[in-house]
Structure 1
Amino acid sequence: MAVFRVEKTRDYTVMSNHHLRNTELSLKAKGLLSLMLSLPENWDYTTKGLSRICKDGIDSINSGVKELEANGYVIRRRLRNEKGQLTTTEYTIFEQPQSIDTGDNPP
């Protein structure tokens, strides 16, 4: 089989192959993480923001993000204002999975 590649002079992303070769991830999660890694840091990483540039809907994107969370590639943290009200969600995205804190501390 032939693979035709383009010269990488602009509009390309360099990222680890780790998630692409991870057999625990679905193809949807691999593609979603690749897309997220290709976007600038100030992008709107919410499911609504991602749905604006994807064919997939919010529910599909949300399930992909949940899969990435479960495998340590994404951390979502709800932020609160000074009154303690939930305001926005902060996303931290990793090329390599992080160990997941289950909250269980052995004695």
Structure 2
Amino acid sequence: MAVFRVQKTQNYTIMSNHHLRNKTLSLKAKGLLSLMLSLPEDWDYTTRGLASICKEGVDSVCATVRELEAAGYIIRRRIRDKNGQMRGMEYTVLEQPQPPEQGP
């Protein structure tokens, strides 16, 4: 068996293999989560922002984000202004899944 090694000197990402070994995630979800983990914290994590650097469109990215959210790898929280108007979404991207919060 051939072994390939890449010299890592710059511009690489270190992440957990957990999501890559998770058999319940689609390849698309594994790839998107890997991409999201490689981005800086101040990146535009909206579906439009993510679609701008992917081949897939906004709808496909949105469906994949929902898959990752259901699996516990992404937590989304709506951000509202003082008047209660929705102003955006806050994303928490996790290397290890977190069980979804149980509602009352």
Unaligned runs of 5+ in 2: none
Q: Residue 87 of structure 2 corresponds to which residue in structure 1? A: 87
Question: TM-score by structure 2 length?
Answer: 0.95
Structure 1: distance between partners of 2:83 and 2:98? 31
- Partner SS state of residue 2, structure 1: coil
Structure 2: distance between partners of 1:2 and 1:41? 36
**Aligned runs of 1:65-104 on 2, under 5 Å?**
65-104=65-104
Unaligned runs of 5+ in 1: none
Q: Residue 8 of structure 1 corresponds to which residue in structure 2? A: 8
Structure 2: distance between partners of 1:81 and 1:96? 31
Structure 2: distance between partners of 1:57 and 1:2? 36
1:39-89 deviation digits (Å, cap 9, x = unpaired) = 000000100000111001001100110000000000111110011101101
Q: Residue 19 of structure 1 corresponds to which residue in structure 2? A: 19
Q: Percent identity?
A: 67
CA RMSD of aligned residues (A): 1.0
Structure 2: distance between partners of 1:89 and 1:101? 17
